[in-house]
Structure 1
Amino acid sequence: MQPLSELPAAGVRALLFDLDGTMVDERLSPAAYAALAQAQQAGLRTIAVTGRPAGWCDLMARWWPLDGVVGENGALAMRLVDGRLERSDWQPAATSDRLTGLWEAVREAFPDAQQAADQPWRVHDVAIDFAEECDLGLEWAGAVAEFARAQGARAAVSSIHVNCWFGDWDKLGMSERLLDALGLAREACVYVGDSPNDAPMFRAFELSIGVASVADYGDLLEHAPRYVTESDGGAGFAEVVAHLTRGVTR
């Protein structure tokens, strides 16, 4: 991975970014939120790409300085169009019985498992906590993900959750749909992430960036980003915005 200072900022039109571990630490810092506003004010299109639930994405799309939100690891996207919320789902949601059955199988195989606190606001997946309100470790998370895949589900490990679903979406597919709707080419976009569920984005975006903690994931990370920040989390996100907006006219 190359240092962020080597990334060419000229011609970048959009900033796509993960939330947990990337823009947001344990709390959303004023500095990170101010950096997001700074990016949009500088003329960059801003798009959050997260594993967080539909209910949270609704609020962000309405209130945050964003041009769009991709949620539940690519299951859906939201943006404001003429003051109204427009939502696109990759496919109809799986039946609740199917997701419930998957969760029950996980809980039987892993007695320590607990659903993420944001599960009530999810539509398309089940999120299993390993690092937000508990501390079960990356090895445990990787084992849960492999178990879910053996049940026929897809699974992705973030910095805090194992997300499991029945469907063929990921962050990249829905991000490309949203970029098309906004008239943006992938080559003019930067993506910033931190963990294994960002791997499809790291692979696809030439201008992909990891905050410093991306190095912690080792073999769990199938594709590494091309650039890396000096700082971690929200400070790393602010570092990216400063680099992209420093002396650049759009």
Structure 2
Amino acid sequence: MVLVPLKQAITNNDWKQPRLIATDMDGTLTQQGTFTASLLQSLEDLSAANIPVLIVTGRSAGWVSGLATYLPVAGAIAENGGLFYPKHSAESVALTPISNLVKHRQQLAQAYQSLKSEFPQIQESSDNRFRLTDWTFDNGNLRVSQLERMNALCASLGWGFTYSSVQCHIKPASQDKAVGLRQVLQDYFPEYATQQVVTVGDSPNDASLFNPELFPFSVGVANVLDYVDELRYQPTYITAASEGEGFCELVQYLC
């Protein structure tokens, strides 16, 4: 599949103006790991243009509750589709039902130890203690072959597995960003058809957001090219700039 440059699509009038943006965070909104002034201004510009933004991230429940409160966004989905934090709400909404949280965490810990027995170099992520639905360890430049082996091991144990440029995730098998986003759109934003939503990302854990059967208008920021051969689905369009600058490029076209 050929990734179409975003500028080319807009010049050729192949682009349909979205009414809602659903975007990954790390490597998509961030620039070298931080939010920039340009990014915050872009989010303000989208708010002024009445284009809601949903953050769809693999980051933990503990981190994401703050994002939904302080950023000018309509809400944030945490843990790759596990939880949703609506704007101006103190409570999270479970997107992956878990009947016994303590037992669930114990089972995730056991799965992690199974991986660690074969890959002793992996280290639990610093934010793992703030998680509810998944278990994470740092992606310390693991090779594709190692990641594929981890995926197979998790599947044999009944778990799902995904990764980004930052972290690897052991998760419920059916939990992913697209499933969580579709549920949030149905329950909280029913006025928006999927054809009016643009999804944005940069990593393998964003691949479900690039599924054209679910979200026909998707954008990868330029650094998605680092993973293009590892993606089950590829974005429809690609920005010229990488990371947060790529997201700001998209917003400039929209606003």
Q: TM-score, normalization: structure 1?
A: 0.90
Q: Say whether residues 1:110 and 2:119 are aligned partners.
A: yes
Tell whether the 8 Å contact from 2:222 to 2:242 is kept in structure 1 after alignment.
Answer: yes
- Matching residue of 2:234: 224
Structure 1 residues not aligned, in runs of 5+: 246-250
- CA distance in 2 between counterparts of 1:114 and 1:139 reads 18
- Matching residue of 1:53: 60
- Matching residue of 1:199: 207
Tell whether the 8 Å contact from 2:158 to 2:173 is kept in structure 1 after alignment.
Answer: no
Q: Say whether residues 1:84 and 2:92 are aligned partners.
A: no
1:18-52 deviation per Cα after TM superposition (whole angstroms, max 9, x unaligned): 01111113222222222122211211011000000
**SS at the partner of 1:85?**
coil
- Matching residue of 2:79: 72
Deviation larger for 93-102 or 137-146: 137-146
2:109 corresponds, among 100, 108, 128, to 100
Q: Say whether residues 1:20 and 2:26 are aligned partners.
A: yes
- How far the C-alpha of 1:95 sits from its partner, in A, is 1.7
**SS at the partner of 1:39?**
helix
- The 3 A distance-change label for structure 1 pair 138 and 118 is farther
The aligned length equals 240
- Matching residue of 1:121: 130
- How far the C-alpha of 1:190 sits from its partner, in A, is 0.7
- CA distance in 2 between counterparts of 1:34 and 1:65 reads 10
- How far the C-alpha of 1:86 sits from its partner, in A, is 4.3
- How far the C-alpha of 1:139 sits from its partner, in A, is 4.2
- How far the C-alpha of 1:138 sits from its partner, in A, is 4.3
- How far the C-alpha of 1:202 sits from its partner, in A, is 0.3
- CA distance in 2 between counterparts of 1:137 and 1:35 reads 35
Q: TM-score, normalization: structure 2?
A: 0.88
- CA distance in 1 between counterparts of 2:127 and 2:19 reads 32
1:54-76 deviation per Cα after TM superposition (whole angstroms, max 9, x unaligned): 01111011111110111100011
Structure 2 residues not aligned, in runs of 5+: none
Q: Say whether residues 1:186 and 2:194 are aligned partners.
A: yes
Amino acid across the alignment from 2:203: S
Tell whether the 8 Å contact from 1:53 to 1:121 is kept in structure 2 after alignment.
Answer: yes
- The 3 A distance-change label for structure 1 pair 116 and 2 is same
Q: Say whether residues 1:4 and 2:13 are aligned partners.
A: no
- CA distance in 2 between counterparts of 1:48 and 1:84 reads 15
